Amino acid sequence: MRREDKGDSYVKKRFSIWFGVLFVIYTLLIGWYLFFGANTELPNVYKGTSADPATFMNARQLELSHEFSRIKSLIYFVSIPLEWGIYLFVLYFGLSRVFRNWSKGISRFSFVQIAIYVILLMCINLILTFPLDYINYQVSQAYEISTQSFSSWMKDLFISFWVSNLFMILTVFVIYFFMNRKPKKWWLYAWLLSVPFTVFMMFIQPVVIDPLYNDFYRLEDKQLEEKILSMASRADIPAERVFEVDMSEKTNALNAYVTGIGSNLRIVLWDTTLNTLEDDEILFVMAHEMGHFVMHHLYFNLFASIFLSLIGLYIGAKLLKWAVARYGEKWGVSGINDIASLPVLLLIFSLLSFLVGPIENAVSRSAENDSDVYAIEMTEDPEAAIGAFQELTINGLSEVNPPGLVKFFRYGHPTMLERIHLLESYMPKEKEKMKAPSN
């Protein structure tokens, strides 16, 4: 065996051992924290209140909610380093170099080469993450959150795979096009082109992407639709109809949302929400979603996404240049404009996304809290609001007071403890005026 081959074999072996050991230690520590170390006992001040799960969940539901929430969180925390490990595996074992050579051997056109490379890379990712995805699906089935058949789940998985591939191919082609022509400022040109694309995607999402996964149709309950549209009119939301989406074939969880911009704006209710909640509870949920629109959270999210993508591309460009300069020869990557450098770039973006995630969650929790306040002021029905959140907790087996680390990394909404307590302590302004002493 040549010295180069021995050195390459040593690097692969060393990477495999170190990553495997660290991954196992990390998984054990996270598991211990979630199931044993985290203190999630309800503070005494909340016991006996509407936020106390013991007041609206039976002992079995409490047990299931604890188990389900912890298992789902464990899967989430394990999936993060697994994604990073896949990118490093592709680099250290020379698969990125092999994929590049195959794609160049098949076609001389750069777009075709990139398409072939991306599909091969995403296939590796699909294969290596499938066991965890399947476990995630089985857990939801076992706890009766998911009602989706395996064939339907696989169909959604492959739709996501090919939709993601399409957008990935277009994105990667643009990035590497500018890398070849503007190597120092590629990140800026790529960002400038991404802005109209991001807006366009937000516009077509409700009418093109979402219907690939579910059937949407006009709300059959005309009386309820009239009430919702009346609220929308009061909120100056230009909606002419309310859509119902058939989710009961896939889940028992509840949801509703207002999405899209311009003429493609849609008010959507899951049929599971319609089948579970009372009308006044549904009206509170819809008022909450309308609050996001009224307070321009949709546009804030759009502008924040555009701004963060600029920062991410800039930092990504600097880190990619450094990583390729230092490890490129070992990985078989000739330069930043070599398509074989894509796993490095994806790894960098994934790391940056993970780091900024808690900040995004904190901002999102604040926006959700504002929408809760908006909804309760619009409906003036705290009892219905509390009932809606209690049902959401039961049907989704949500943990009312999750571990701190889980809230920090996973919660884009306030905890149910915080949300129900807010509603319980809320006193409408009209009642405050009634209690105020007259002069």
Which structure tokens are listed for 190?
């790529």
368 known member of a binding site:
yes
Please report which confidence band the pLDDT of residue 432 belongs to, taking 50, 70 and 90 as the band edges: low
| pLDDT over 90 percentage in the chain | 66
Q: Once rounded to an integer, what is the mean pLDDT over residues 429-437?
A: 50
Question: In this predicted model, which residue has the larger pLDDT, 201 or 434?
Answer: 201
pLDDT at 117 over 50: yes
Segment 56-89, tens digit of pLDDT: 999 999 999 999 999 999 999 999 999 999 999 9
Please report which confidence band the pLDDT of residue 431 belongs to, taking 50, 70 and 90 as the band edges: low
- Yes or no: say if 295 and 323 are a contact pair by the CB < 8 Å rule: no
Could you tell me which residues come within 8 angstroms of residue 249 by beta carbon, excluding any fewer than 6 positions away? 147, 148, 152
Q: How far is CA 325 from the centre of its chain?
A: 33
Please report which confidence band the pLDDT of residue 174 belongs to, taking 50, 70 and 90 as the band edges: very high
Segment 405-426, tens digit of pLDDT: 999 999 999 999 999 999 888 7
Please report which confidence band the pLDDT of residue 434 belongs to, taking 50, 70 and 90 as the band edges: very low
Instruction: Report phi then psi at 100, rounded to 5.
Output: -65, -45
From 225, 281, 289, 399, the catalytic residue? 289
> Quick check: helix, strand or coil at residue 216?
strand
Q: Once rounded to an integer, what is the mean pLDDT over residues 250-257?
A: 87
pLDDT at 428 over 60: no
> What angle do helix axes 59-92 and 342-379 make, rounded to 10 degrees?
150
296 known member of a binding site:
no
pLDDT at 282 over 70: yes
Q: Once rounded to an integer, what is the mean pLDDT over residues 174-189?
A: 94
Say what the pLDDT of residue 1 is.
Answer: 46
Please report which confidence band the pLDDT of residue 427 belongs to, taking 50, 70 and 90 as the band edges: low
Segment 314-336, tens digit of pLDDT: 999 999 999 999 999 889 999 99
From 225, 244, 281, 372, the catalytic residue? 372
Cα 253 from Cα 72, distance rounded (Å): 14
pLDDT at 435 over 80: no
Q: Can 144 be counted among the known catalytic residues?
A: no
Nearest to 427 by CA among 391, 383, 394: 383
- Yes or no: say if 172 and 113 are a contact pair by the CB < 8 Å rule: no
Which structure tokens are listed for 317?
């460009």
- Yes or no: say if 186 and 179 are a contact pair by the CB < 8 Å rule: yes
Residue with tokens 């403890």: 417
Beta bridge partner(s), residue 268: 243, 257
- Yes or no: say if 390 and 289 are a contact pair by the CB < 8 Å rule: no
Instruction: Report phi then psi at 201, rounded to 5.
Output: -65, -40
> Quick check: helix, strand or coil at residue 239?
coil
Say what the pLDDT of residue 310 is.
Answer: 95
Whole-number mean pLDDT of the chain? Answer: 89
Q: Can 329 be counted among the known catalytic residues?
A: no
Say what the pLDDT of residue 430 is.
Answer: 42
288 known member of a binding site:
yes
Q: How far apart are the first and last CA of the chain?
A: 98
Domain limits, the chain? 38-101+183-213+297-427
Q: Once rounded to an integer, what is the mean pLDDT over residues 256-268?
A: 77
Could you tell me which residues come within 8 angstroms of residue 299 by beta carbon, excluding any fewer than 6 positions away? 261
DSSP string, 36-91: II---PPPGGGTTSTT-GGGTS-HHHHHHHHHHHHHHHHHHHHHHHHHHHHHHHHH
Which structure tokens are listed for 91?
């680099």
Question: In this predicted model, which residue has the larger pLDDT, 414 or 216?
Answer: 414
Say what the pLDDT of residue 425 is.
Answer: 80
Nearest to 363 by CA among 287, 284, 303: 303
Instruction: Report phi then psi at 242, rounded to 5.
Output: -115, 135
Strands 266-270 and 242-245: parallel
Q: What is the chain's length? A: 439
Query: Between vectors from CA 154 to CA 148 and to CA 158, what angle results, nearest 5°?
Result: 135
